[in-house]
Amino acid sequence: MAKSSGIIKIEGTVEDLTFYKKDGKNFVRKKGGIPKERIANDPNFVRTRENNNEFSHSGSSGKILKLAIGSMVFKAKDSKLSSRLLQLMSKIKNLDVVSTRGNRQVAIGLGTVEGKLLLKGFDFNANAPLKSVFFAPYNLDTTTGVFTITDFIPLEQLMFPQGATHISLQSAVVHVDFATLESEVAVSNIISLPLNLTMSTSVLTPSNVPTGTGVHLFLLMISFYQEVNGVQYSLRNEEYNVLNIVDVI
């Protein structure tokens, strides 16, 4: 590694030299690294190839989940969602005790009780976890996918952001098979409520209950709005919204 003291300050790679800045100083180093061909074929890198294969599989599984859920994810997510899903899918993949190293599968890990428990309770927006926002009791019928929230008082049973005047509640049932890549989502009706002390019962019923192999996820989403002149607007790019996997079967 050499220190650059020239007049022209370059950052980036030029041919086989990499220029970069650290602690306010400019440095240059020769581009290095192990050739991809060697990693792909050298017996000494068999462990690396196995790790890379499983890393790629875990990343793809996170994308499969997001695609299966659909637009709800884009209404309630944080900036580190992809990396958090990668970590979660990697843990689930590790529960596959039948496949060889390098070929362990998320689908097999989710076939275990432990795998389902890892996925259950996952918050797609870590800035608004369900347990820290929603304090009302509810009932979920996993046969019909119906959520029932009885005697709900929004102003007392919600932690809501400043400026919010209304909330909306929506649920979904998602079927996803991480082995075949098949998926289906069925969303419920949307219930909009003002943030006040009025007690009410909300029933969220999905349009249908998807069937098929793999797992079934039951999600609950809470969105916050501010009403101005009769129109409801999402709060600050929906960063306060909640999307949680309530159950997995």
Tokens of 199: 């007690």
Nearest CA-CA partner of 173 in 127, 142, 201, 139:
142
- Phi/psi for 99 (5° steps) reads -85, 160
What are the start-end ranges of the H helices in the chain?
Answer: 36-41, 46-69, 72-75, 81-93, 106-109, 113-119, 130-133, 154-157
pLDDT of residue 11: 60
pLDDT of residue 235: 83
Q: How far apart are CA 76 and CA 44, in angstroms?
A: 44
pLDDT digits (tens, 9 = 90+) for 84-129: 999 999 999 999 999 999 999 999 999 999 999 999 999 999 999 9
User: Average of pLDDT values for 16-35?
Assistant: 69
Decide if pLDDT at 45 tops 90.
Answer: no
pLDDT of residue 42: 65
Q: Of 38-52, 98-112, 174-188, give the lowest mean pLDDT range.
A: 38-52
User: Average of pLDDT values for 164-185?
Assistant: 97
pLDDT of residue 19: 72
Q: How far apart are CA 120 and CA 97, in angstroms?
A: 21
User: Average of pLDDT values for 208-230?
Assistant: 95
pTM of the model: 0.83
Nearest CA-CA partner of 241 in 137, 145, 140, 170:
170
Decide if pLDDT at 31 tops 50.
Answer: yes
